[in-house]
Amino acid sequence: MNNEIVLDEKSGISIEEQKEIMSQINGITEKNRQKLAQNAAQGEENIKIDAKKKSAFFPLVVNISAGLILIIGFVLLFIFNRQTDTKVRTGFIVYNHTERALIDEIRKSTAEQIAAKEWKFSRFPRAWKKLIKSFYRFFPAM
């Protein structure tokens, strides 16, 4: 493994600044290694790393905000779903575009079928009268 550090001249940071940053990073990591080694030498199994800030404010705000967003979402979902259910129960038309097109096509087909049946039934009395006239023509005594 190559332990040589490669510095990038095209990064926009001068080589000297990159070396300074790397030395600061190495200093911090060396200090942390020494601290961990001391803890291990003292026999501490659980190494405790303390945060610089010990505030519960931010996690509390995030959790409360998430809870409020969930509650508001459920309330809005319930309100809009209830309005749709009410409209369906009262007969108010609640259709999307596809349902509307399908219902219109069914109505058109049904109207054509009804018109064909009505035309057939309207012919029936005339055909019946013709049949009766022809019957009396062949059998006038009856």
In a domain, 89, yes or no: no
pLDDT band for 140, please (50, 70, 90 cuts): low
- Which residues does 9 contact at the CB level (< 8 Å), separation at least 6? 15
In a domain, 124, yes or no: yes
Q: Contact 18/7 with Cβ under 8 angstroms? A: yes
Q: Rounded to an integer, what distance in angstroms lies between the CA atom of residue 54 and that of residue 118? A: 85
Number of domains in the chain: 2
In a domain, 130, yes or no: yes
Taking only the tens place, the pLDDT of each residue in 108-124 is 999 999 998 888 877 77
Q: Rounded to an integer, what distance in angstroms lies between the CA atom of residue 4 and that of residue 24? A: 17
Taking only the tens place, the pLDDT of each residue in 16-38 is 888 898 899 999 999 888 887 88
In a domain, 109, yes or no: yes
Taking only the tens place, the pLDDT of each residue in 48-103 is 667 677 788 888 999 999 999 999 999 998 887 777 656 655 555 656 677 777 88
In a domain, 99, yes or no: yes
In a domain, 5, yes or no: no
In a domain, 9, yes or no: no
In a domain, 37, yes or no: yes
**What range does the domain containing 32 cover?**
14-41
Q: Rounded to an integer, what distance in angstroms lies between the CA atom of residue 96 and that of residue 104? A: 12
